[in-house]
Structure 1
Amino acid sequence: PTMEALVGAAALATGRPVFLNYTWYQQQTYTGKRSPFITWLRMAATKDGKLLGMETDWSVDHGPYSEFGDLLTLRGAQYIGAGYDIPAIRGEGRTVCTNHAWGAAFRGYGAPESEFPSEVLMDELAEKLGMDPLELRYKNVYRKGSTTPTGQDPEVYSLPEMFDILRPKYKEAVKRAERNSTADIKRGVGISLGVYGSGLDGPDSSQVDVGLNPDGTVTVYSCWEDHGQGADMGTLGTAHEALRPMNLTPDQIHLVMNDTSLAPNAGPAGGSRSQVVTGQATRVACEMLVAAMKKPDGTFRTYAEMEAEKLDLRYEGKWTAPANDCDENGQGNPFCCYMYGVFMSEVAVEVATGKTTVEKMTTVADIGVVNNFLLVDGQIHGGVAQGIGLALSEDYEDIKKHSTMIGAGFPYIKDIPDNMEIIYVETPRPDGPFGASGVGEMPLSAPHAAVINAIYQACGVRIRELPAYPEKVLAGLKG
């Protein structure tokens, strides 16, 4: 464990609250890293581009410890080829113990490793078929009756609409790249499709409490953990919507966040689960309070009236996702809500050095009904920025070389374009709170594949092992 046992022992020894502050070297060498996948993949299609089948083989380099290795390997079965109607799939994945860094959950958790090879191969397949990469994807994305990797019917079918929205922007970008390419700077455009589920596999559950205060305000007691993603605003936005019949203003809704002596267990903030699972628990608790306070004439009881009638002043909201675990073949209904993203990257490649610069990123996102646009904008910008680092510079193989921020390839601000466009397609989710799905993992599911595909479109160099260091691209240019 990265810190839980250490801070727990320290708290027991001192009898006081404690925290653990790593140096950067300790942070790099002691905490887990994303587990690399080594993947062999091939697809079959008709001459007009209809996918017929896919064969997969993936090995998960999980380092010395087994924690979550089985679940991460399952992600390969769930997400290699995700987004497409593939009627026949045969594959095998395995978790492998190695002397590399131990594998830990990190944003996207299995999707960036799984969707990178299938999204790059879709471009290679399009080239062999003489088809446009966007049109090949459009022909095969989920529609009613499609066969998904898990065998689960998607909860919404918004991918055709998302590609229709991107198509004119893509055509403009391709023309712009052709117009602005020179002998020294080659420009290209790449696209990719990303899919990720919201929740922990199977019947994921959460609990949130809501209480009425003497002054008529409401307090939400929630352990929706906050890594900086805005759990307070997710909680407030969901609660405000659920309490709308009472005409409360946001300042009349108080939050007690992540105090385990006062708030119930909401589960981990991971797997893009919180807005869906903890959001639904928030909704349930608020609706229970509203129902208890409502009089037969449609007005609402006061705090004093609730006390006089001996009605509860605090309500426990519990919610469990209508889902089930996948079997050993990766078949099942693991998530009730998914997130869908279509990414477009515009890059410039210096012929003399092989250095790639991302000039623009466009994301078409369907994360359901948006709770708070400012927060989800930040989530998507942040995830796409991480995808650029994953594509071009980040690595952790050599402890001496890679244990500083610069050595590990952390992207500089100049490496991330200011020009990052987001287009939302708000398709309400039947099982999400007020139609919302999650957002956190989707932005890092596949943007790196769009960058790599753009490099090929720019200069004809296909990178199959990340990151696309300048020397790799230059070696490809030299043939």
Structure 2
Amino acid sequence: MALRKMYLNINGAERLVVCDPEVDTLSDVIRRIGLTGTKVGCNTGQCGACNVILDGKLVRSCVKKMKNIKEYSTITTVEGIGQPNALHALQQAFIFCGAVQCGFCIPGFIVSSKALLDQNINPTRQEVRDWFTKNRNGCRCTGYKQIVDAVILAAAVLRGEKTMDDITYQPPEDGRVYGTSNPRPAAYSKVTGLCDYGDDIGLKMPKGTLHLAVVLSKVSHGNIKGIDFSEAETMPGVVKVITAKDMPGYNRIFFPATHSNSITNGMERPIICDQKVFRYGDIVAVVAADNEVNARLAAQKVKVDIEELPKYLNYLEAVVPGAMPLHDHQNQYLTVSAIKGEETREVLSQSKHVVEGSFHSIPQPHLTIEPDCGQAYIDEDGCVTVHSKSLMIHYAQGMGAPSLGLAPDKFRVIENPTGASFGYTMSPAMTILLGACTMALGGTPVTLTLSYSEHMLFSGKRLASYSNARLGCDEEGKITAMEFHVGADAGAYTELGEPGQKSVNWGGFGYNIPNIRGISRVANSNNSHGTAYRGSGSVQAYTWSEAIVDMLAKKAGFDSFDFRYMNLAKPGETGINQQPYRQYVFKDLMDAIKPYYDTAKKRCETESTDTKKRGVGITNCGFMVSVGNEDACQIDLELNSENGITCYNAWQDQGQGGDIGTINITHEAFKDTLKLDYTKIKLVMSDTKLVPPTGPSGANRQHFMVGNATKDAADQLLKAMQKPDGTYRTYEEMKAEGIETRYRGTYVTKIHTTDFDWDTGIGEMWPEYNYCSLMAEVEVDTTTGKTTVLSMVLVYDIGTIGNQAVVDGQAYGALMHGVGMALSEQYIDDGNYDSLVKSGFTYANGMPDDITLISLPSERKNSAYGGVGCCELFQSTPHVTVLNAINDAVGVRIYEGPAAPEKVKAGLEAKKEGKEIKPHYYVGPDFYESLEEIYTKVAQKKETITAN
């Protein structure tokens, strides 16, 4: 190793650095001297998180080798653009516009924006988008709209047309912040690059911390015959090669199946594989060394002897008779049904119009910019302590402790500042692995950051599904009956695989469908395990249900909008589960979107050409709030010495706004009584040692659950503070009188309706719902098959909004995930889909700038402050909305996403020949055979069905 000493001018100051010019990149050197505002995500120049300005030019520092950098070069990082007490206009605008969600990519965007404005101080919105696309600035949270807004506003300030005050939040005169766009407190550290995420913390761990590198299986299914790490353990810096034999406890991730119909206990996943590997990328060993380079070099020397077994890379292969069971149960482990009204075979045979189709929803990758990472050590109380990207720290604690053979109070979980996860960190796997490794090393601190390729293999994906559906209507267009058969691919492990059954909750949501027969099955395969992802379960269901509604509308001769409108459920009419809807807002939502739809349809007629065809797609959807009956949430509120309020909760925030959500809800609880200044609210969040169990940040639950628990705690605190004359004691008075200043609020959902029966799909599941109607306008190039989304309109009802900028950001981001799922994103578990680009990541020009969001809040009696969550609702149907629009434009139905140009082009060519490309798993005449199990259950459950 030949090291080089060189001077660089970094952020206006001359800095001496020492580097290995052949090995080190510019990002390595910048981060090593403590400027960790330069983030490293993909490490291949595909995300822009590492952007710096080098001698006046924007560069991606993670791929810029030091050997190619001249001494005394001038470098600007995000730390050189502004400071917390003297923000640059760009940083202030990003905060003001709500452009900071998880924030991991934001320093790179701010640096990139600075480089743009240095050369063009008056860019158009399209020029901003072009710049970000050309320079591969990727964001997975925002959908880019608020980021572009921020750049345009900052440019106006720099031109002198606006002031900094114009782009700084001003509280309303009445002081109420609930429902405004007051900024997230975490945004300030994120726009200045001072927020330390997982890998940043890893760089700053104490001396003696060991760096971990994983050894992954390159086989999808096989028996482990042996592991040879003799060469690896003699490599420089290596302390230990950790294998299954070093695991504490019983080397299984304790993630019990919660579904009553499941034939498995859900605890078949090893922490480190011992006897078998079940998917490409399973962890078979972990190397611990003095630094990351040495750990990774040694990991390459670990040799694993695996006897390959048959591999099943989709649900269809895994359930074929004679397929080898992956675990100690048959591969198909869960079956649920939906039964409503009369037998559908008879009803459909008498219906005027009937359509049928087969559909496939992809195993969508989450494509976060930050790869998975974390740290572990033994804390001052002797607890095994893990910092990770967990969306449910108390659940991870409850699962991790028995997995590691620990008492629950000896396993502490802390959520790191996190570069998003969109659901995959509902899995406790990384948290438990880190805890196991520090225990295997006798308590030595450890840090682990996966490469992006490893991250893609390690993290789960949205469950893929295969669906067959039939839908019929009468001559007037009224839907008569629906049938469906869904096969969901849970991948290698049953952990969080149960969303595959949710077609029995979401199929046909919002419509009056009097007769239904459906069945949904879930099976293991050798794919990456299915895990939580925004819209978990609903995305798969709407893939077939909103497509089949569109197909029936066209066959019956109705406009897609009009057909949906005439079939909306009216008060008293029930959904798929035979229960009334909690709110009947569908008509209002569609009324609001109708003018946009009509205008877009006319525009498509006038602006379509022979080679550029335009179309409009429409969908309706809803999503659940909470994880069901007896969902529990606890938070603490404490009056503090400044007569402000300290909030203690586990609203795990990975970009969705848990910090500002907590502040706004808490302020709402005290604004009328204490006249509380919202800036006096302090936050203690997401550490199992310091806060009570608030529950997972998923299922749109936290705003609703924390709101109700906060009201309970606030009522208790206010009662204790109140004097006989109606005024309120100060903190000092409370202490002087010996009155408790901290109170725990609790909320538990109670659903006072029929218990849910998974054999029939009858009963109520959740205490609240949210709803939306969505429209997309697209243009299809008939010469290439390329689809461009031109505009989108989202009309939604999530009750009262807690923070408008946060809700807007969740909507824009969710729409981007949906557009990506429709047009470009895909994942196959073979090691080839290991980067953002290969997996079809959506950059700025992949999203329309024309997006309209409209809120129509209705009353939520179960919510303390009127609001419920939103982000999973917004991601439920944008993919199928776009696919419906493609069909409207060119008459080609894409049954299997994504609608890549070659797929659309093939559909156009088949259409010319009078054919239609259909999925290979289309069952045709055999459809009814797949439903026989339902008809058997009908006979067995007549009394239950009649009673409902």
TM over 0.5: yes
Q: How does 1:19-418 map to 2 (within 5 A)?
A: 19-69=447-497, 71-244=498-671, 245-323=673-751, 326-328=756-758, 329-397=760-828, 399-418=830-849
Q: Which amino acid aligns with 2:908?
A: L
Q: CA deviation at 1:88?
A: 1.7
Matching residue's letter, 1:100: N
Q: 1:76 offset after TM fit, Å?
A: 1.2
Letter in 2 for 1:187: R
RMSD in angstroms over aligned alpha carbons?
1.5
**Secondary structure of the residue that 1:65 maps to in structure 2?**
coil
Which residue of 2 is the match for residue 454 of structure 1? 885
In the alignment, the residues of structure 1 paired with residue 747 and residue 699 of structure 2 have an alpha-carbon distance, to the nearest angstrom, of 16
- Secondary structure of residue in 1 paired with 2:800: coil
Q: What's the CA shift for 1:338?
A: 0.8
Of 237-246 and 139-148, more deviation after overlay is shown by: 139-148
2:246 alignment counterpart: none
Q: More displaced, 272-281 or 146-155?
A: 146-155
> 1:120-159: per-residue Cα shift (whole Å, max 9, x none)?
1111111111111111111222321111112232222111
The AA in structure 1 aligned to 2:588 is E
Report the CA distance between 1:179 and its aligned residue. Answer: 0.9
Cα distance in 2, alignment partners of residues 32 and 322 from structure 1: 32
**How far, CA to CA, are the matches of 1:258 and 1:142 in structure 2?**
41
Deviation at 1:49, TM superposition (A): 1.8
Matches within 5 A, 1:435-450: 435-450=866-881
Give, in angstroms, the shift of residue 17 of structure 1: 6.4
CA distance in 2 between counterparts of 1:331 and 1:239 reads 37
More off after superposition, 5-14 vs 42-51: 5-14
- Structure 2 counterpart of 1:433: 864
**Which residue matches 2:370?**
none
Letter in 1 for 2:521: R
**SS state at 1:441 partner:** helix
| Conservation of the 8 A alpha-carbon contact between 1:61 and 1:96 | yes
- The Cα offsets for residues 53-112 of structure 1, whole Å up to 9 and x where unpaired, read as 21110000111211232x313311001111112122111111111122211111110111
Mapped partners of 2:578, 2:778: distance in 1: 36
CA–CA distance in structure 1, aligned partners of residues 449 and 765 of structure 2: 36
SS at match of 1:435: coil
Q: Structure 2: any 5+ residue segments left out of the alignment?
A: 1-427, 911-948
Distance in 1 between the 2:444 and 2:777 partners?
A: 52
Task: Give the stretch that moved more between structures: 414-423 or 375-384.
Answer: 414-423
**C-alpha separation between the residues in 1 aligned to 2:751 and 2:445?**
38
Contact 1:243–1:287 (8 Å) recurs in 2: no
- The worse-fitting range, judged by mean Cα deviation, of 393-402 and 465-474 is 393-402
1:434-464, Cα deviation, whole Å (9 max, x unpaired): 1101112011100111100100111111111
Cα contact 2:488–2:501 (8 A) shared by 1 = no
437-446 or 4-13, which deviates more: 4-13
Distance 2:850 2:445 in 1: 43
Q: Secondary structure at the match of 2:762?
A: coil
User: Which residue does 1:4 correspond to in 2?
Assistant: 431
TM-score (norm 1): 0.97
Relative distance call for 1:291 and 1:19 in structure 2 (3 A) is farther
Paired AA for residue 715 in structure 2: E
3-state SS of paired residue (1:379): helix
Contact 1:428 1:434 in 2 (8 A): no
Q: How much has 1:304 moved relative to structure 2?
A: 2.8
Letter in 1 for 2:685: M
Classify the secondary structure of the residue corresponding to 2:436.
Answer: helix
The 2-side partners of 1:284 and 1:104 are apart by: 33
Measure the CA separation in 1 of the matches of 2:723 and 2:562: 57
Distance 1:362 1:60, change over 3 A: same
1 CA distance for matches of 2:831 and 2:641? Answer: 60
| Deviation readout 1:322-380 (Å, 9 max, x if unpaired) | 23762222222211111111110010100110000001111001111000000000000
| Counterpart-to-counterpart distance in 1, 2:872 and 2:736 | 48
Q: Matched residues, percent identical?
A: 39
Q: Distance in 2 between matches of 1:130 and 1:111?
A: 28
Question: How does the TM-score come out when normalised to structure 2?
Answer: 0.49
- Bigger drift between 346-355 and 289-298 goes to 289-298
Q: Distance in 2 between matches of 1:313 and 1:16?
A: 39
Question: CA separation in 2, counterparts of 1:132 and 1:387?
Answer: 23
Tell me if the contact between 1:75 and 1:111 (Cα under 8 Å) persists in the aligned partners. Answer: yes
